[in-house]
Chain A
Amino acid sequence: MLRYLIRRLMIAIPVLFGILFMSFMFTRLLPGDPLLMMMSVEEFSATDEYMEQRRSDLGLDKPVPVQYVVWVGEVFQGNLGTSFHRRAPVTELIWDRLGPTALLTGTGILLALIIGIPIGVMAAVRQNSWFDYFSATGSMLAISIPNFFLGLMAIFIFSLQLRWLPTGGLRTLGMEPSLGDSLKHLIMPAGVLSAVLIGPYVRYTRQSMLDVLRQDHITTATAKGVRGRSIVIFHGLRNALIPLTTVIAIQIPALLAGTVIIETIFSWPGMGQLVLEAIRRRDYPIIIGVVLFSAVLVMIFNLIADLLAAILDPRIRL
């Protein structure tokens, strides 16, 4: 196990520095003085002499590799620069938006799992049936509808026509925060976000179930006279879910990209909305900060998924 862990970390480290390198390249390639990307709030009103001093402190007069090392050092200390527009540290801005985005994406994944796994299992158990055929077609439809169109349709139907749900926001303004109210605001954006995940979850669950159901221990269980349903759930599904941890991790970048659109449509105050506003205002430190933060998050989730799979399935470690 330890050897596997070390090997997996050895792969993750160059990827981390690659992510940092690509983000660094963006800070240099974007129009504007790189110094602006690394200032603190107070420094915006500093004197020219001070800024020159700061420039040489940050090594901006030195060769690019040196600049990279200094920049990485700053990032590791949590300095992602200051927003041009909001005049606040980027780390702080991201931290404020993390909660709503985590809530939205977490609920989206949960919904997709609740809907996707049972459909995938049914499709595998009744392979080549009409159910199997319709679930495949349905999954295809779910990944083909643009999420902004799905979001607009949801608002049109559930908010404007039926008047069941609010059109957007985290909660009703001027109302005492309550769980019911928050859920009402959460369900529509999370549901639209989950649509893109349901298809892959159904496919992988089905495939992985089919693989597992062909194995010897399933035949043994059947021969022992275990009931069909408990074979599917206890012997089959338990093992079939292991590859799904990897699928969930792989889908996270797509999910975060989805938040840019969903949060904008539903006025959800998360990281996606923050980054889109920043792009419209050319507020580069925020964009680089969110992009870097997301990529590192994705890397960490991939690592966790691989380790989880190794813990759950001893064969992977070999």
Chain B
Amino acid sequence: MTDDLRPDEQATDHVDGGPVPGIPPDQSEWDDSLPIQSPWRIAWRRFKRHRLAFGGLIFVIILVAIAILAPILAPQDPNVVDVSASRNPPSADHLLGTDSAGRDVLSRLIFGSRVSLTVGVAAALSAAGLGTLLGLLAGVAGGWIDAIIMRVVDVFLSFPSLMLILLLVAVLGPSVVTIIVVIAFFEWPTACRIVRQMALSIKEQDFVLAARATGSSRWRIMRKHVAPGVLSPLTVVATLLSAGAILLEAALSFLGLGVKQPQASWGGMLEEAQSLTILKEMPWLWIPPGAIIALTVLAINFIGDGLRDALDPRQQM
């Protein structure tokens, strides 16, 4: 079985060094007077050449700014109920109209970014952290520890995780923290597999053999040699995990089992659209939140894609 859920190579990958449409030949804006380029600078320059990834990064930066500045940017209080202004179409007062409780859709959209980004970042970091820990342990220790961890991974990957996440959130009670913990608990195996695979291949490298020959302990090898090598694929995995976590949170809230009303979340805003009347007559209630979820996830996926290209050491500069 292939050892990762995501393909290693992307269509925009150019292993053969051929021309890639949409990416102009490298016109380095780099200052040539700098003789040494660190790996991170090289990666950053390569990342910038991937236009969609760079665009995605800018989109996410703007979104983070919106989330932080939400109280200043939002034209109205997102939770103020005004029954007399229920389901109003977009107007000068309410640029994106109002929902069934008369709340301003644009303001709720702005505040909703906080939930999505928090869940995306926190769940992805926790899942990646747990996955890295177990993946390193499996890869470096080997033997029966490896066998047990990998069987546990197989077990986790056999379950349709959404069903278990829904169950746990329903039992524990929906809150942002619960959602983050539960998503992390079921999404770590992807990171674990990839980290283990990287650790296994690094373990066989000459410099690790040299370290072992000169008497470095297993723990030191893991810390000094294997962990840094795992970092770049892990960055990619964590990025993709955060896109997945945002989608999961949106799905939970859409099903009414995620973030509780009246707190604004993008998925929760789409919940109302399950009624055909709203779906048909009031598109301002559901198209903007749906589109913003899709754009955010797309932007993050493009960033992950760009990182994959930029951090791949096999690739030509």
Contact = CB atoms under 8 A, between A and B. Distances in A.
B164 interface: yes
A315 B5 CA distance: 22
B1 interface: yes
Nearest to A278: B167
A18 B280 contact: no
A224 to B, nearest CB: 25
A132 B279 contact: no
B11 interface: yes
Contact of A243 (B2, B14, B19): B2
Contact of A22 (B52, B159, B170, B283): B159
Interface in B1-46: 1-2, 5, 7-12, 14, 16, 18-22
Given A19-B155, A250-B1, A260-B163, A203 B19 contact: no
B159 A295 contact: yes
Contacts of A299: 158
Given A19-B159, A133-B11, A203-B7, A146 B276 contact: no
Nearest to A153: B290
A177 B68 CA distance: 55
A145 B294 contact: yes
Contacts of A202: 11
Q: Which of B159, B163, B247 has the most CB of A within 10 A?
A: B163
Contact of A160 (B151, B280, B305): B280
Interface residues on B, range: 35 or more
A140 B302 contact: yes
A302 B154 CA distance: 10
A204 B12 CA distance: 14
Contact of A31 (B7, B171, B279): B171
A262 to B, nearest CB: 11
A203 B294 contact: no
Tell me the dominant secondary structure on chain A's binding face.
helix
A280 B159 CA distance: 20
Interface in A31-47: 31
Contacts of B12: 133, 136
Given A133-B12, A133-B20, A306-B1, A148 B154 contact: no
A222 interface: no
B21 A130 contact: yes
Contacts of A136: 10-12
A290 B164 CA distance: 10
A206 interface: yes
Contact of B155 (A22, A152, A204): A22
> Which 4 pairs from chain A and chain B are nearest by CB?
A136-B11, A257-B162, A18-B155, A149-B290
Interface of A: 11, 14-15, 18-19, 21-22, 26, 30-31, 123, 127-130, 132-133, 135-137, 139-141, 143-149, 152-153, 155-156, 160, 167, 200, 202-204, 206-207, 243, 246-247, 250, 253-254, 256-258, 260-261, 264-265, 275-276, 279-280, 282, 287, 290-291, 294-296, 298-299, 302, 305-306
17 contacts: A14-B151, A15-B158, A123-B11, A143-B301, A144-B297, A146-B254, A148-B254, A160-B280, A200-B7, A253-B160, A257-B160, A258-B162, A261-B251, A261-B254, A287-B163, A291-B160, A306-B1
